[in-house]
Chains A and B, each alone.
Chain A
Amino acid sequence: MRPVPIDRERALPTQANDPAAQDQQGSALAIETHGLTKRFGERTALDGIDLRVPRASAFGFLGPNGAGKTTIIRTLLGLTSANSGTMEVLGHPMPLERAQALQRVGAIVEEPRFHMHLTGRENLRLIAAVRGPEVHERIAPALARVGLSERAGEKVKSYSMGMRQRLGVARCLLADPLLLILDEPTNGLDPGGIQEFREMIRAMVEQEGRTVFISSHLLDEVERTCDAAAIVDRGKIITQGTIAELAGGGVARHELILGVDDVARALGTLGASELVLESHRSDEGIRVVLAGAGGAESAARVNALLVGAGVGVARLEPVRQSLEQRFLEITTRLDATPEEVEA
């Protein structure tokens, strides 16, 4: 069954975007780890992880299956202990100030699990009872927020996967979280559900000032939803930064694809211009890497340059840097032998 649309009009009462509430929590970072290491016997699941997740952002934690995504989430939440390293959640050192740190954290680890023999509302009551008496009044708004008010009286075993994901989010919202940690949150959702979920995440970040930490192996999902990301593989963070930085290989790259009537003259003109860092033929036409900040203005200047040189421009298309390309570059490099990398 298709998930019910999110009801944004009935948003939760929140303190997430209240600066005073954030000040009380201290750090400007929602999550900060240094040298975090976790071993399972001989296997090193996390190998010296240094992670910095800014507040009020959607942060993707991207990596292939088995890279260590769930392990770092479990470690951050105190579900398992680290072997070495330090970590802070919302400015509180973990596990020293675990209770204070987790007071304003909502999390779904792996998949949302519930007591199937209880209703959706009863499952939220369980968590509300554990969190404190004031949390009970958040149950109805949380259910409304995820569009489950009308089905809240039904047993969870009758819920679809999408509804369980939504109920999991509602359970997170009971904490009025400054930080939401979601492990593969779109698993099992249909395309409509994914779109609605994405919109909900963006609203939480942009309208309510919450921080959302999303682990995923879905590159496209992270690229569409997150402001920044870290790429993790084999227990190590390979790189982290904004999505544009990651896609551009550390700096934001701005590229154009050009279709022209005289390729040789166009390449000559572009090669002599300070506007262009690099230009070459490609299957799609001429691929141009711009020297400046990019954007529509740079594209217009390149167009004017070519037209001025007597080159007819049939096509001028900005290239959207793909996180997937960058991810594949990184993981391909990791898979390569040292000799291949040198070559």
Chain B
Amino acid sequence: MSTAIAWQMTSVDFLKLRKRRGMMIWSFLLAVAPVLIYFLVSAIQHSSNPGRYGPAGGTHNFTDGLRVIALFFGPLAAVLIGVEAGTGDASAGVFRDLVVTGRSRLALFATRVPAALALCCTMIGVAYGLLIVGTYAFASNLPTPGLSLVFNGLGFALLATGVVCVVAVGFAALTTSKPAAIIALIAWQIVASPLIANIESLGSARAGVLSQALGHFSPVHVEGRRGEIVTMSQGTAILVTLAWLAVFLGLGAWRTRKMDA
């Protein structure tokens, strides 16, 4: 497959996603609304009781906002985008028409990934932009993050959500069911992952939880409740992340190649 065809296929995969109005609205709300609400509530609290509540901006609130984007709501938006990319053709019944063109099924699967990533990064980029605006606009007399932290934070947010998005593409292609993939991934993300991370008796096995591995790439301290962050080396975090990507991309590609269209 030539680069020109790969680019065109990715472009139309992106078109399919960005024209999916419902998915766009929900993923945008999940990515952006929490940041807006966070600043709005913090600003209101600060203005109503400055003695008790500090300003809504500054480095401290940037850290909380980054955590919201990269590890809580951003991944949910990434799941919606990834699942749509992974199941869109099959659920519309168009997959067979794509196969009939003679194009390799692996190529059909592969071009969904950059398209989903492009949309996910756009959404998270907008949310992160709002976070930066809020961080500086509401900083008052608080210290603000330096340029280095701003860029590292962006990289972390894109990495954490992008990995989840790619895993969602693979998992959705494996299940071929949009509702099942969304329910399973969101349940894993917001229920199972924190639960497993809190079961101390599991010990180092908890390092296999993707969100725990991704948390280690954060440029700021993102620890939440006790035991929520599992201790692991940077190398282990990288290996766990790569393993998640390889397994789910592999399974998704295998299913796309083998399934009856």
Contacts and interface: CB of A to CB of B under 8 A. Distances in A.
A130 interface: yes
B93 A113 contact: yes
A123 B12 CA distance: 9
Contacts of A103: 102
Contact of A130 (B9, B20, B92, B96): B9
A319 interface: no
A305 interface: no
A159 interface: no
Contacts of A118: 15-16, 19
Interface residues of A, number: 34
B94 interface: yes
Given A99-B103, A115-B92, A130 B261 contact: no
A175 B15 contact: no
B237 interface: no
B37 interface: no
Determine chain B's interface SS by DSSP, over half rule: helix
A175 B260 contact: no
B94 A113 contact: yes
A16 interface: no
Given A113-B93, A122-B19, A130-B108, A99 B12 contact: no
Nearest to B6: A129
B191 interface: no
B80 to A, nearest CB: 15
Nearest to A155: B19
Contact of B99 (A77, A100, A115): A77
Q: Which of B21, B98, B99, B104 has the most CB of A within 10 A?
A: B99
B15 A130 contact: no
B94 A79 contact: no
Nearest to B103: A130
Contacts of B8: 129, 133
A294 to B, nearest CB: 42
A178 interface: no
Nearest to B22: A117
Interface of A: 74, 77-80, 98-103, 105-107, 109, 112-118, 122-123, 125-127, 129-133, 171, 175
- Counting from the closest, the 8 A-B pairs by CB-CB distance are A113-B93, A102-B102, A129-B8, A79-B261, A99-B102, A129-B12, A80-B260, A126-B12
